[in-house]
Amino acid sequence: MDEDIELVRQALQGVEEGFERLVAKYQDRVYTLCYRYSGNEEDAYDLAQEAFIKAYRSLGTFKGSSRFGTWLYRVTTNVCLDEMRRRKRQIQTQSLDQPVAGIHSDMKPIVFDNGISIDELYEQKEQAEYIQFLLNQLKPEHRMVLLLKDIMEFSYDEIAQMLDVSSGTIKSRLSRARELLRRKLLDREHFP
């Protein structure tokens, strides 16, 4: 934690290595958040880049009152949501007979850590891809709240702050999002 603050200080003084080390430390988490949100590798890569660049440019606003990670994930969340809004507008202004290159469009394989058998790996991989496929079908606001609570494990208050809504809104949105995901899983008889 103190290390992060030191690295931010270095980066602000123009020491590139400071920011490089912050990227190295957080890139997997940021990329994962972007992947879970966008549902594909190409968009996830663009979003992650954008998030770090935005973070770099607004490093001066990081006050050190929250953890750097929390601040960075908030920046990432906003980049994802902004991008989604931008695409929505773009899609609306596109002619209707054009195919839409949506952010949900394709599902690519997911990389897994080692340490488990091939069978288990395959099973887990299938399951993870399937969950991602279902996440992609949710509305962005529902998907985001699931990511922040159940994947990133932020508290209701932290998420409320990130999304600039009340904690009560998070409570009901999360309840709705989990219910929608539950129904989708039930449709496929995924539960034992």
Partner 1 sequence: MGCSQVQLLLSAYRDKMTSREETQVVESHLESCVDCQDMLSQLNQICLVLRTLDNLKAPRCLWQDIKRRLD
What per-residue string of b and e applies to 37-49 under the rule 16 or more CB within 10 Å gives b?
A: bbbbbebbeebbb
Interaction residues for partner 1, span 91-110 (CB under 8 A): 110
Q: Judged by CB under 8 A, which of 32, 70, 78, 161 binds partner 1?
A: 32
Q: Least distance from C-beta 96 to partner 1, angstroms?
A: 34
Cβ closer to partner 1: 30 or 84? 30
Closest CA to 51 of 25, 24, 80: 80
Q: How far is the CB of 70 from partner 1 (least distance, A)?
A: 17
Would you count residue 30 as binding partner 1 (CB under 8 A)? yes
Q: Which of 131, 146, 155 is nearest to 176 (CA)?
A: 146
Residue closer to partner 1, measured from CB, 11 or 84: 11
Residue 49 sits in the site that holds partner 1 (CB under 8 A) = yes
Shortest Cβ 125–partner 1 spacing (Å) = 9
In this structure, the number of other CB atoms found within 10 A of the CB of residue 80 comes to 26
Smallest gap, in angstroms, from Cβ of residue 56 to partner 1? Answer: 6
Task: Give the three-state DSSP class for 110.
Answer: coil
Number of other CB atoms surrounding residue 138 within 10 Å: 18
DSSP readout, 121-135? HHHHHHHHHHHHHHH
Q: Is 74 in the site for partner 1 (CB under 8 A)?
A: no
Give pairs for 90-93: CB < 8 Å, separation 24+.
none
- Distance CA(58)–CA(65), nearest Å, equals 15
Of the ranges 52-60, 75-83, 90-98, 99-107, which one interacts with partner 1 (CB under 8 A)? 52-60
| Cβ-based nearer residue to partner 1, 101 or 186 | 186
Token pair 């991008």 is at which residue? Answer: 83
Interface with partner 1 (CB under 8 A): 16, 19-20, 23-24, 27-32, 35-36, 41, 44-45, 48-49, 52-53, 56, 110-113, 124, 127-128, 131-132, 146, 149-151, 153, 156, 171, 174-175, 178-179, 181-182, 185-186, 191
